[in-house]
């Protein structure tokens, strides 16, 4: 990949649409519809945190489509880093290995993790808090009617698949939530750490690793992977020491490969902020019943409407709240909808020199003066 191709004029690369304060949602950004080699896609992001911790990206070329949702925690640094580097690594290894594969994706995730941990080490003396920053990563790649889904954390990929009656569409989850709210994830961790009775702590019905974090896999979170960080006096200036015998989080992605067929209609890739409000089937039904253009924005608005209802509010009231305050009602939300109309491109699985880049903005509020 040649990342410089992505740095085109701002409005071209970013799709650039944002709701205004007069009737719109000033913290909602979206691109209504763009083409890729297998159909169309739509992307939308709403900001709730003071700094947008979600990032989303779609790279489309005649030979492959890469799309990713990167949900940061502890700050925006890790998700922004992953957004800049992961697809570069993915395309580099795909070029070297002659195409995409499970091994190529594993290498790309590993390289991104190592690169970010190096950044943590080099920044440590001036920014010790960077050791507590991490990001969930949900990546999809399509080439020659083959779909790869790779996941760290609890962002989720859902397939809309034609039902047996030929009219309905059923939701099929393609990713695994690496979140200790799931019993199987807790069992997996307990088996890996049989000598650590305080690995998993439950407070007010919410399970967390070391009482701190719910996701079990990520890029970053160096203080829960490298004991030296949490023991360092610099880190202990703002956090209590965390006794670790070994890493308690992993950067090993779950990867699924699938041959797409005519029954596979569309994909929904979204950060957990969407799935906290909508079930898999509810999201699929929304996509099925509405026009393609602006469909990602429609899903985000449906989630925000549900979040408002839980607080006995209307979305019209919620959208007038400022960033930061919004976080009391919902998380940052990123949604990418990929329509699957059949692969029409080349079959190398490599981006090549000509591709289209659609990035969500680093921070939606930064668009105010553009």
Is pLDDT above 50 for 111? yes
Is pLDDT above 80 for 120? yes
Residue 256's H or E segment, with its range, is: strand 254-259
Name the nearest CA neighbour of 222 among 98, 97, 78, 349.
78
Name the nearest CA neighbour of 58 among 157, 144, 160, 140.
140
Round the average pLDDT of the chain to a whole number and report it.
89
Question: For the chain, what are the domain ranges?
Answer: 3-179+215-367
pLDDT of 344 reads 64
**3-class SS at 1?**
coil
- β 39-46/54-60 pair status: unpaired
Give the whole-angstrom CA distance, residue 59 versus residue 65.
6
Is pLDDT above 70 for 366? no
Please report, for the chain, how many H helices and E strands are present, in that order. Answer: 9, 15
Q: What percent of the chain has pLDDT over 90?
A: 76
Quote the tokens at residue 83: 């957004």
DSSP state of 246: S
Per-residue pLDDT tens digits for 160-218: 999 999 889 999 999 999 999 999 999 999 999 999 989 999 998 999 999 999 999 99
H helices within the chain, ranges in order?
10-14, 77-97, 102-123, 183-192, 227-231, 272-275, 280-289, 295-310, 315-318
pTM: 0.91
**3-class SS at 45?**
strand
| CATH topology classification for 3-179+215-367 | Phosphatase 2c; domain 1 (3.60.40)
Per-residue pLDDT tens digits for 310-350: 999 999 999 999 999 999 999 999 999 999 998 665 555 56
**3-class SS at 231?**
helix
Per-residue pLDDT tens digits for 222-248: 999 988 877 777 777 766 778 788 899
pLDDT of 243 reads 77
Give the whole-angstrom CA distance, residue 316 versus residue 305.
9
Per-residue pLDDT tens digits for 10-47: 333 444 445 443 458 999 999 999 999 999 999 999 99
Beta bridge partners of 158: 173, 268
Name the nearest CA neighbour of 57 among 26, 74, 24, 34.
34
pLDDT of 6 reads 39
At which residue do the structure tokens 């925690």 appear? 73
Is the four-CA dihedral 297, 302, 307, 313 of positive or negative sign?
positive
pLDDT of 265 reads 97
What b/e readout covers 296-329, taking b as 16+ CB neighbours within 10 angstroms? bbbbbbbbbbbbbeeeeeebeebbebebeebeeb
């Amino acid at each position: 990949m040649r990342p410089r191709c992505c740095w085109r004029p701002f409005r071209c690369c970013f799709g650039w649409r944002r709701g205004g304060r007069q009737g719109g949602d000033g913290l909602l950004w979206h691109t209504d519809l763009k083409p890729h080699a297998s159909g169309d896609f739509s992307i939308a992001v709403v900001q709730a945190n003071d700094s947008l911790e979600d990032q989303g990206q779609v790279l489309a070329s005649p030979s492959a489509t890469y799309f990713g949702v990167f949900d940061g925690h502890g700050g925006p640094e890790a998700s922004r880093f992953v957004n800049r580097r992961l697809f570069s690594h993915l395309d580099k290894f795909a070029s070297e290995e002659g195409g995409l594969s499970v091994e190529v994706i594993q290498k790309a995730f590993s390289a991104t993790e190592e690169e970010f941990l190096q950044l943590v080490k080099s920044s440590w003396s001036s920014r010790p808090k960077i050791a507590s920053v991490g990001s969930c990563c949900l990546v999809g790649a399509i080439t020659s009617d083959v779909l790869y889904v790779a996941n760290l954390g609890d962002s989720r990929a859902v397939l809309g698949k034609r039902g047996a009656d030929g009219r309905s569409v059923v939701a099929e989850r393609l990713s695994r939530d690496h979140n200790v709210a799931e019993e199987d994830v807790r069992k997996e961790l307990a088996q890996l750490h049989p000598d650590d009775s305080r690995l998993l702590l439950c407070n007010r019905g919410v399970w967390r690793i070391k009482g701190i974090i719910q996701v079990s896999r990520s890029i970053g979170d160096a203080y829960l992977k490298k004991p030296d960080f949490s023991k360092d006096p610099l880190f202990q200036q703002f956090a209590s020491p965390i006794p670790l015998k070994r890493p308690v989080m992993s950067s090993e992605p779950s990867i699924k490969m699938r041959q797409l067929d005519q029954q596979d209609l569309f994909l929904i890739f979204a950060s957990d902020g969407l799935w906290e409000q909508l079930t898999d089937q509810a999201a699929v039904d929304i996509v099925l019943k509405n026009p393609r253009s602006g469909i990602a924005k429609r899903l985000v608005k449906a989630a925000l409407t549900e979040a408002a209802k839980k607080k006995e509010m209307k979305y019209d009231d919620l959208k007038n709240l400022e960033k930061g305050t919004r976080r009391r009602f919902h998380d940052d939300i990123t949604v990418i909808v990929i329509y699957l109309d059949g692969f029409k491109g080349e079959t190398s699985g490599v981006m090549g020199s000509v591709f289209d880049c659609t990035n969500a903005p680093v921070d939606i509020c930064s668009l105010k003066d553009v």
